[in-house]
Homo-oligomer: A and B are copies of this chain.
Amino acid sequence: MATIKDVAKLAGVAISTASYALNNSDRISAATKQKVEAAAKTLNYKKNGFASDLKRTKTNTIALILSDLSGPFYSELIKGVQDVTSANNYDLIACNSIGGAQSTAVKFLTEKRVDGAIILAHNITDELTIESATYGTPLVLLDRYLDDNHVYHVEVDNIQGGYRATEYLITHGHTEIAYISGPAASNDNILRYQGYQNALMDYHLHLHSRWHIQGDFTREGGYRATKLLIAQKKLPHAIFYANDEMAVGGLHAFKENNIRIPEDLSIIGYDDIQLSEYVQPPLTTIKQPKYEVGALAAHLVFQILNGEKIDHHYKLSTELIERASVQPRKS
C-alpha cells in the first residue's frame, strides 16, 4: 500500500509538502500540487484515515447507537440525525449494541472512535454510559434518564401523549378504558401509563386493575394481551395500546373473535408506525416527532462539541393522528 512517503518520493518533494498538497493548503505552489497529485494518482494512494485521526485526535464522526440494527427502524429519527450531521460535515455511522459490553457500540464509545454519540439502546448499561461520557464524548440519550453532568437527554413527552390518547377516548364517550402496557421496565411505557392514569383521574374515572394488561411492545404480545382481555367476560369500551405494534396484534385477535373495530370497541395506539395507516381499520394513534428528536439530538452533540453550555434536558410533544379506529360511544 502506498503511503504518503511513497508519494513524496515519486513527486520528488518532502513528505510535509506532499501532505500539504494533498490537503489543499495554500502554501503550496500550483505546480508542486500538480506533481504531487499526479504521483498520488499513479500510486493509487489512499490516505490512512486512522493515522490522521490519531494525529489530529478527532474523528469527525458521530455514532448512532441502536439496540439492534435490524430492528424496527426509527427511520424518521435517523433521517433527522443524518441531516444535521451532514450539515455539520460530520460522518455518521450506525452501530448496534447487541452483545452488551462486547458490542461494536461499546467498543466505539469506549475507544474514542467517535467524537460523539446518540444512544437509543436499553442494553447499554448506565455505568458504561456514564463512564464513556465522563471522559469527554458528548452523549445524548434518547430513551432514559441518567443524572450525570456529561449526559444530555431528549425525550418526547410520553406523559402528555398518554394523556392525550386517553382523553380522546374519554371525550368520545368511553368510560371503561383498558391499557395494554409495554414491558414493565420500559421508561416509555411507565410514562404513557402515567398519562393514562392522570387523564382518568382528571375525568373522575376509576382505574380498574383488571384493565391493565401486560404486553411487551410486540405484535405477538398485543395479540396475547387482547386474547386475555377477550377471555374475561366483560369487554371495556376502548383500549389504549402502549404502541402500534401491539394494536396491530390486537386487531388480529379481535378479528378472530368477530369483534368489530370500531363498532364494538374503539382502540388507539401510539407511535404512528407506517403500518397503522394500512391496517383495517386505520389506526388512530399518537405520533411522536421522530425526525425532530433525531435532529435535535444531533444538534446537541455539536453544541457540546463546540463547548457551548446547554440544558441537559429537552422535551418534545406529541400529536394525535385521527384515523378510523375510534368511534363515539353510542350509549
Contact = CB atoms under 8 A, between A and B. Distances in A.
Nearest to A52: B111
A69 B82 contact: yes
B279 A46 contact: no
A205 to B, nearest CB: 33
A82 B111 contact: no
A23 to B, nearest CB: 13
A112 B278 contact: no
Interface stretch (A72-80, A230-238, A256-264): A72-80
A263 to B, nearest CB: 18
Contacts of A135: 1, 44, 46
A190 interface: no
B70 A75 contact: yes
A104 interface: yes
Nearest to A47: B111
Task: Please state the number of chain copies in the assembly.
Answer: 2
Size category of the A interface is 35 or more
A307 interface: no
A12 interface: no
A92 interface: yes
A312 B133 CA distance: 44
A46 to B, nearest CB: 6
A292 interface: no
Interface string A70-97: 1111011011001000100001111110
Rank and list the top 6 A-B pairs by shortest CB-CB distance, nearest first: A49-B111, A91-B104, A70-B79, A70-B78, A94-B94, A50-B50
18 contacts: A48-B112, A49-B108, A49-B111, A50-B50, A50-B51, A50-B112, A50-B113, A69-B94, A70-B76, A73-B73, A91-B104, A92-B104, A93-B95, A93-B104, A94-B94, A94-B95, A248-B278, A274-B275
Given A1-B112, A1-B135, A70-B79, 15 more contacts: A44-B135, A48-B54, A48-B112, A49-B111, A50-B51, A50-B53, A69-B82, A70-B82, A93-B94, A93-B104, A93-B108, A94-B95, A275-B275, A278-B280, A280-B280
